[in-house]
């Protein structure tokens, strides 16, 4: 019962975009968050990547953060993030 609750914050490296431009101006997946755009932050302010296995558990939170971010930047397009793909791949016998 001693597990501390981690927060999820916007990735500082890509600001939630999930991708960055490298030195050549090429768009590549953000290395820091693994293309998610968000990372865990623990009590010591240490950021860690959200493991793929956690996507289904944090999808609702990520979705909310993403909507906030899109409102902020006025983005109306569609960007499929890894956690959304993970949900679609979820087996049906989960319930
Ligand atoms: Zn990132």
94/80 Cα distance (integer angstroms): 23
- This prediction has a pTM of 0.76
Going from the Cα of 92 to the center of ligand 1, the distance in angstroms, rounded, reads: 30
Quick one: pLDDT band at residue 92, thresholds 50, 70, 90?
A: low
3-state secondary structure at position 88: helix
pLDDT of residue 2: 40
Going from the Cα of 10 to the center of ligand 1, the distance in angstroms, rounded, reads: 8
Which residues, listed in sequence order, are joined to residue 39 by a DSSP beta bridge?
A: 9, 49
Going from the Cα of 93 to the center of ligand 1, the distance in angstroms, rounded, reads: 32
Domain ranges in the chain are 7-90
Structure confidence by residue, pLDDT tens digits, 37-85? 999 999 999 999 999 999 999 999 999 999 999 999 887 766 678 888 7
Contact 47, 12 (CB under 8 A): yes
Going from the Cα of 88 to the center of ligand 1, the distance in angstroms, rounded, reads: 22
- Say whether pLDDT at 93 is over 80: no
What spatial distance separates the first Cα and last Cα of the chain, rounded to whole Å?
A: 25
Going from the Cα of 60 to the center of ligand 1, the distance in angstroms, rounded, reads: 18
pLDDT of residue 1: 44
């Amino acid at each position: 019962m001693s597990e501390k609750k981690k927060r999820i914050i916007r990735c500082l490296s890509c600001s939630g975009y999930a991708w960055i431009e490298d030195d050549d101006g090429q768009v590549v997946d953000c290395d820091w968050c693994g293309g998610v755009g968000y990372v865990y932050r623990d009590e010591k302010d240490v950021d860690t990547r959200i493991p793929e296995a956690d996507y289904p558990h944090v999808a609702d939170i990520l979705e909310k953060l993403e909507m906030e971010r899109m409102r902020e930047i006025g983005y109306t397009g569609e960007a499929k993030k890894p956690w959304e793909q993970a949900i679609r791949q979820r087996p049906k016998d989960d319930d």
